Amino acid sequence: MSRLTRVRAVACAVVLFAALGAAAGCGDDGASVTTKDGDKVSVDNDGDKVTIDTDDGSVTVGQGLPDGFPADDVPLLDEKVVSGAGGDTDGLPGWTVIMQTSRAVDDLTTEVKRDFADAGYTTGEAMEAGDVTALQFESDLYEVSVTAARTGGNVTVTYLVRKVG
C-alpha cells in the first residue's frame, strides 16, 4: 500500500471514529481497541479534537486548519474551512482540509490551478466531469490532491497534502 493510500485510509478512519464518537456522545472519553489483525488503535477526544493513534501513525481531526498545516507552502482557497486533520504515517506528515462554498466548481478549479502554478507546483493528473473535479499537484516538498464536488447547494473542496521525503 502506498504512503498516500495509507494517509487517506487513516484520514477516513479519523472521520469514521469522530462520527461514531459524536453519535455515541463520547464527550471527553477515549477508547483503545485491538483490530483482528493485531493492530492497536486508541482514540482520545478532548472535546475540541479527536486524536487516533495506530501502529502506523497518528491523526488529529478538529475544526479549522489542522496543527502544523504548511499554509505558507500550500495555497488554499479563501473559503470556509469545515474541518481539518493532521498526522503522520511512517514518519511523514500529512493533512486534510475540508472546505465548503456555494461557488461554481469551474471557478474553483480555475483558481486552484492558477494558485498552484503561481506557487511553483507541477500539475499532475486531472479529472473534470461536470460538477466534480480532481486535481493533483507536486512540489519538491509536497504532494497535493484537490477535489471539488457539488452536493446539493454547496461545493465541498477537499485538500489531501503529504510531505514528501
Confidence band, pLDDT 50/70/90 cuts, at residue 20? very low
Place of cell 493528473: 125
More confident residue, 1 or 107: 107
- For residue 25, the enclosing domain spans 3-163
- Can you tell me the mean pLDDT for 25-46? 72
pTM value is: 0.76
Task: Output Rg (C-alpha) for the chain, integer angstroms.
Answer: 16
Mean per-residue pLDDT of the chain: 83
- Which long-range contacts link 116-119 to residues 24+ away (Cβ below 8 Å)? 116/75, 116/144, 118/75, 119/73, 119/74, 119/75
Which are the contacts of 101, defined by CB distance < 8 A and separation ≥ 6? 77, 79, 80, 108, 154, 155, 157
Q: Which amino acid is residue 110, in one-letter code? A: T
Confidence band, pLDDT 50/70/90 cuts, at residue 29? low
Give the number of domains in the chain.
1
At 62-105, the pLDDT tens digits run 888 999 999 999 999 999 999 999 998 778 899 999 999 999 99
